[in-house]
Amino acid sequence: MMQQQRWTAEQIPDQTQRVFLVTGANSGLGLATTRALARRGGHVILAVRDEEKGHRAVARITAEQPDAHLEVRHLDLADLDSVRAFADRLRADHPRLDVLVNNAGVMAPPRSLSAQGHELQFACNHLGHFALTGLLLDLLAVGRDPRVVTVSSIKHRKGRIHFDDLTGERTYSPMAFYDQSKFANAVFGWELHRRLTAAGSPVRSLLAHPGYTATNLQLSAPIGWLRVVFGRIGNPLLAQTPERGALPQLYAATDPHVEGGQFIGPDGMAELRGGPTRVPLSPAAADTETGRRLWEVSERLTDVRFTFPTRLETMGRAG
């Protein structure tokens, strides 16, 4: 464990005047993350596909904490045009961003394609976050203790990138392509860390996973047997609450001692539940060739190229 006592949300340092962007912030892990950050004084931007649900989430938080600093913005991560429009609007309104939490995701739908023709899980869980991070990296570079936290899964260890069949046209399996998207999150987070470090950037890239957490991701899965296994059977016996499941990403986003490249997950048996601690990334996710190949494919599919400001360049802009 990172500390003698398990870390809790009560140990989040004061986040006053820090600006956070949380994708998928209206429910589950995203809502728990938003609530905890707002409670510690952070200004949280809720990036949500359904703005009505986003405003309901804000109402629930402000009912508990009237002085919370929250704003709702529309973002459909599966649509790269929406990602670009979101980034443009954010840049117009905010001179900096301190922490980006790449949290949103979809799980195991029947095969479907995004607006740009990409397999939906790969589009939403990976490509949308890849593009969003690249488009906002310069705002992060002038942030206070800036970080990108990408939420992966235990299941990244079962995944691989189907480079020869990314859309699942030939062999689609809902869970195999979910595993692919979570593996892509892990590969991206590590490769981003490697590139940020090489550039001397002040931005840190970290990874987190929630273990087994009861959220509507499983309960709303379109595949009936998944709802039974993950929802009715598994959740009451094994699953953590979203508030506990969010602790690894909150730790990665706020603890002053975490380092770039670290993967934070639960400290319990099989990493299913428990307090946040550093956990191993699968060797396949840290493979340099896989990282390079996924990065190049992602740049081509999103038409987003990352620019990595150095620390000196960042200091010049901030001054």
Catalytic residues: 178
Nearest to 130 by CA among 306, 264, 292, 253: 306
Q: Name 45's bridge partners.
A: 21, 71
- In eight-state DSSP terms, residue 144 is S
Rounded Cα gap, residues 250 and 264, in angstroms? 10
Distance CA 108, CA 120 (A): 9
User: Two tokens at 161?
Assistant: 């990138």
28-39 vs 51-64: helix crossing angle, rounded to 10? 40
Among candidates 256, 83, 264, which has minimal Cα distance to 186? 264
CA–CA distance, 171 with 126 (Å, rounded to integer): 19
d(CA 165, CA 70): 40
Q: Which two tokens stand for residue 280?
A: 């191993």
Residue 126, classed as helix, strand or coil, is helix
Query: What is the C-alpha to C-alpha distance for residues 269 and 211, in angstroms, rounded to an integer?
Result: 10
